[in-house]
Amino acid sequence: PGRGGFAERQARRVFEERARQAVEEVNASRGALHEGSEEVLLGCGAEGPTGADLPSGARVLLVDDPGGGRLAAALRERGLRISRWCRFARGPSGAGAAASPERRAGGQLFDAAVVRLPATKAALDLALAALAPLLAVGAPLWIYGARSEGALSAKAALREPAFVGARTAVTRGGFAVAKASRSGTSVDEFALSAHGERVRLEVEARKLKWLVYPGLFAGGTLDIMTKLLLEALPAPPAGARILDFCCGSGAIAAAMGLRAEDARLHLLDADAVALEAARANVPQAKKLFLSDAWASVPESTTYDWILSNPPVHLGLQCDFTVLTALLAGGPPRLRTGGALYLVAQTYVPVGLLAPEASSVWTDGRFTVWRLPPSATPRPTAGGSEG
């Protein structure tokens, strides 16, 4: 029995290490997609922003550029001035993330824009609606990304009346760059509220008035995985502080608010548009964090429950970066007796990435996992905290 137990432990360690390596490879592939996309964009010559006929001092708006500054540096070398709009929080502070771009001081328009292809068509359409009124007539706009992300279809989003001359300017390897110019037709000023949709979301056997925006996960429905997570949960602790991690439009937090009116709800998402919807849908929330994983959450903030249906795809590509951040940062933020509950497709190796995780429900396709606090859980804070 001793030798068998040792062999079993050794085998598990091997599987855990292989799972970690596989996840690291998946996460690294996301970075490789962006690097390849950026490389093709920078190598476009006259078809791209670094070779375009833009005068020195022209203002270029970079949209959701997740790179390490190569694109901005190349444009600055040409004497161009750079502004940024990121819908998604990235990095330690999430600085600059916003649901919509800001108009330049004095109402001046941008001379060009470069857009990193979003994960969904709806998100791209929303971004272009926000950009169009900020671009000068004739301003070029580029959209760059991988073919596996849908880059060859990007030109279809550059529609009249806002844009003219839409085409796929460059294709190279697995990457593509679309290009168009701002037309002379005026368009309405962008207001995020004008793009919202009011629906009824059935949560806890109640139909709630619900706000959604284009590109949000599950739209105005309760997706099957969130539904299964909610069904698997026990009753929340009295007066619990609960974090809805990757909250989207706020369905998990809303359900907890219905189950326990004394629950203190915090919501977190990297998507500024999602957080605007959640703000409207869960007005009783004590705190909302626009945050790249845990980056904007104070280390002193602890929870009785952390709940999540974390994304494991970005568009059509697997991406475990959010999941690994949740597993690493969640348990240390749990109070004594607390728990992290998450739902994932069963193929996702949660149990190998977090050996302390236990399955509380599965149907073979989806699994609900529970993680306890880390070895040194943080004490429960006083009830006066939000």
What are the tens digits of pLDDT across the range 259-268? 999 999 999 9
> pLDDT value at position 93?
61
Please determine, for residue 380, whether its predicted confidence score (pLDDT) is greater than 80: no
What are the tens digits of pLDDT across the range 305-317? 999 999 997 766 7
User: What are the phi and psi torsion angles at 106 (to 5°)?
Assistant: 80, 5
Which one has a higher pLDDT value, 31 or 287? 287
> pLDDT value at position 12?
57
Confidence of residue 379 (pLDDT cuts 50, 70, 90): low
Percent of the chain's residues with pLDDT above 90: 78
Confidence of residue 277 (pLDDT cuts 50, 70, 90): very high
> pLDDT value at position 91?
78
Percent of the chain's residues with pLDDT above 70: 87
Mean of all residue pLDDT scores within the chain: 90
Task: Kindly report whether the peptide bond that precedes residue 349 is cis, defined as omega within 30 degrees of 0.
Answer: no
Mean pLDDT of 291-298: 94
Mean pLDDT of 5-30: 59
What are the tens digits of pLDDT across the range 180-219? 999 999 999 999 999 999 999 999 999 999 999 998 988 8
Q: Which of 178-182, 227-231, 312-316, 350-354 has the lowest mean pLDDT?
A: 312-316
> pLDDT value at position 172?
96
Here the contacts of 186-195 (C-beta below 8 Å, separation 24 or greater) are 187/132, 187/133, 187/161, 187/162, 188/133, 189/133, 190/100, 190/129, 190/130, 190/132, 190/133, 190/134, 192/99, 192/100, 192/130, 192/273, 192/276, 195/126, 195/129
Separation of alpha carbons 242 and 229, rounded Å: 15
> pLDDT value at position 383?
45
| Partners of residue 172 on adjacent β-strands | 175
Where does 216-371 have alpha helices with state H?
224-232, 251-259, 272-281, 321-329, 350-353
> pLDDT value at position 318?
80
What are the tens digits of pLDDT across the range 57-97? 999 999 998 766 899 999 999 999 999 999 999 877 655 69
> pLDDT value at position 232?
98
Whole-prediction pTM: 0.90
> pLDDT value at position 314?
73
Confidence of residue 13 (pLDDT cuts 50, 70, 90): low
Confidence of residue 385 (pLDDT cuts 50, 70, 90): low
Confidence of residue 356 (pLDDT cuts 50, 70, 90): very high
Mean pLDDT of 12-20: 62
